[in-house]
Chains A and B, each alone.
Chain A
Amino acid sequence: MIRVENLSKSFGENLVLDNITESIAEGEKVVIIGPSGGGKSTFLRCLNLLEVPTSGQVWVDGVEITAKKVDINAMRRKMGMVFQHFNLFPHKTALGNLTLAPRHTKIMTKAEAEKFGLALLERVGLADKAHQYPAQLSGGQKQRVAIARSLAMRPKIMLFDEPTSALDPEMVGEVLDVMRNLALEGMTMVVVTHEMHFAKDVGDRVLFMCGGQIVEQGRPKEIFTNPQNPRTRQFLNSIL
């Protein structure tokens, strides 16, 4: 579903991603962990070209999105992204946030988008908040709306960039529950997170990123109980 070859990204002199090659299968749930500054978010953002790689190729659903003539807007519609700070549109209601993109990319009519939007809000448990503005919602509710907003485009892949890091502890659970359900439905997911329980429960594979490289990877059980790389061990010791 996603293939990355020799992907590098530098910001000026600073090499953030160092020649990464990796692929992610359809339906797979990949969790990326690692210390901050290790390149996790940048890697994720290269997958939908929010960051343009310095070199290397990215294929999504059989299309090389790093190619010059690709319709990147069409490709991004296949990938939903959820951000640490939600990035909901403050001038739109919850439902307005969900219907904006489907309507204006002409993949749905207004009526279809609203019907689907309401169904999605129902699914994340926020049907009663459809006509509230983001400012009236709690952090956990905002993030659930943000997830629903991405799903409104019927993506094949969902990218999560530390979706619970900006939340108060008591709101983390409700967001992770929504993500768990999504995983159960078979969505292909790439999740950057510090929630190790989630990684263990939901992840098919854990990537440990550090210094711009995937230092170690494997099944969650292996990584968490028997890490091979000293840096992985050091990281896990420091957080568990």
Chain B
Amino acid sequence: MWAILASQRPTPPSGWEEGLLYDIWLNLIANNGWQRLLEGFALTLQVTLGGLVLGITFGFVLALMRISRLPPLRWLSTLYITVVRGTPTVLQLMIWVFVILNSPDIPRLLVGIIAFGANSAAYTCEIFRGGILAVDKGQTEAGRSLGLGSGKNMRLIVLPQAIKNSLPSLSNEFITLFKETSLLGFVAITDLTRAANQIRVVTFNAFVPLISAALIYLTVVIILTWALGKLERRLRKGDSR
């Protein structure tokens, strides 16, 4: 890309020849920087959404294990959470890609999703557990006194309320996960952050690509925060206990 830039030296449109405008043209337009950022952003979103779905599903299972009456399930869940929370996310990502699922047959993007899902699960597990514990004990007493077994009581009475309790923290986890996917560059997956960095390397200009990427992250986080807050308020309507 740099070679092309050097040999052909495309010229900027009039009025864009110098200063910040030139930098913007050079980084985002001249070498199709916008396209790289867009592709990176698409990848970031894929890993975020995939990781989120996986993390919530697996985290929910872990939470049920954690409150289970069977000690081995509790231990397993606790062990998993301890390991995941006790090691750096970027290292976990590298271990997934280069150790556990190190095979040319497995798409690396998928491994990235698995790595972030597995990581997020440990945190969503604790969120769900907190949500379950926050359900008033009287709810279980009412359910059991009506003759519901513990499983039905959990499924029909406790969990619907627990999930609602968990939503605010789950929104936070969603946003955290979205930003954490910027680590994907460490395993050579070109997400938004890595795409921005690649432009920097080619153009020798850091300001425009890095700030552009930052603005994209920020915009998405602001939109997400607003949308999730709105969803939460709607779910809470008519429910004051």
A197, B161: Cα distance in complex, Å: 38
Q: Across the interface, which residues of B come within 8 angstroms of A88, CB to CB?
A: 142
A31 part of interface (Cβ distance < 8 Å): no
A135 with B145: CB separation less than 8 A: no
Known A87-B141, A91-B161; contact A101-B148, beta-carbon cutoff 8 A: yes
B238–A87 contact, CB under 8 A? no
Most chain B beta-carbon neighbours within 10 Å: one of A104, A136, A146, A153: A104
Contact yes or no, A153 B141, CB < 8 A: no
CB of B241 within 8 A of chain A? yes
A90:B141 contact, CB within 8 angstroms: no
Q: Which A160-196 residues have C-beta < 8 A from chain B?
A: none
Of the residues A77, A85, A90, A133, contact of B146 by C-beta under 8 Å: A77
Q: With an 8 A cutoff between CB atoms, is B147 at the interface?
A: yes
Chain B residues, Cβ within 8 Å of A85: 138
CB pair B139 A89 closer than 8 Å:
yes
Closest to B148 in A: A101
CA distance A85 to B138 in the complex (A): 8
- Give chain A residues whose Cβ lies under 8 Å from the Cβ of B146: 76-77, 80, 100-101, 105, 149-150, 153
Contact yes or no, B239 A91, CB < 8 A: yes
**A89 in contact with B142 (CB, 8 Å):** yes
Q: Which residues of A contact B152 (CB under 8 A)?
A: 104-105
CA A193 to CA B6, docked complex, whole Å: 90
Query: Which of B145, B157, B161 is within 8 Å of A79, CB to CB?
Result: B145
Inter-chain CA distance A80–B145, complex, in Å, is: 7
Which residues B133-160 have CB closer than 8 A to chain A?
A: 136, 138-139, 141-149, 152, 156-157, 160
Q: Check B241–A90 contact: CB distance below 8 A.
A: yes
Query: B87: CB under 8 A from chain A?
Result: no
Nearest CB in chain A to that of B237: its residue: A135
Q: Decide yes or no whether B8 CB sits under 8 A from chain A.
A: no
| A135 lies within 8 A of B238 (CB) | yes
Number of interface residues of A (CB under 8 A): 27
Within 8 A of B (CB), among A76-128: 76-77, 79-81, 83, 85, 87-91, 100-101, 104-105
B138 touches A83 (CB 8 A): yes
User: Are B160 and A105 in contact (CB-based, < 8 A)?
Assistant: no
How far, in angstroms, from A101 to B139 measured CA to CA in the complex?
Answer: 13
Contacts of A77 in B (CB 8 A): 146-147
Q: Give the A-B pair count, Cβ closer than 8 A.
A: 70
> When chains A and B are docked, how far (Å) is the Cα of A149 from the Cα of B157?
14
Q: Does A105 contact B239, Cβ atoms closer than 8 Å?
A: no
* Interfacial chain A residues near B147, Cβ < 8 Å: 73-74, 76-77, 101, 105, 153
| Contact indicator B145/A50 (Cβ below 8 Å) | yes
Please tell me if B14 contacts chain A, counting CB pairs below 8 Å.
Answer: no
Is B240's CB within 8 Å of the partner chain A? yes
Question: B148 touching A87 by the CB < 8 A rule?
Answer: no
- Report which residue of A50, A80, A90 has the largest number of chain B beta carbons within 10 angstroms of its beta carbon: A90
Cβ contact within 8 Å between B161 and A81? no
B164 at the interface (CB under 8 A from A): yes
A57 interface residue (CB < 8 Å to B): no
Closest to A135 in B: B240
Whether A232 is near chain B, meaning CB under 8 Å from some CB there, is no
Q: How far is the CA of A91 from the CA of B238 in the complex (A)?
A: 10
Neighbouring A residues of B136 by C-beta, 8 Å = 87
Known: A74-B147, A101-B148. 8 other contacts (CB 8 A): A48-B145, A76-B145, A76-B146, A81-B142, A87-B138, A87-B142, A105-B147, A136-B238
Interface residues of B (CB under 8 A from A): 136, 138-139, 141-149, 152, 156-157, 160-161, 164, 238-241
List residues of chain A with CB under 8 Å of any chain B CB: 48, 50, 73-74, 76-77, 79-81, 83, 85, 87-91, 100-101, 104-105, 133, 135-136, 146, 149-150, 153
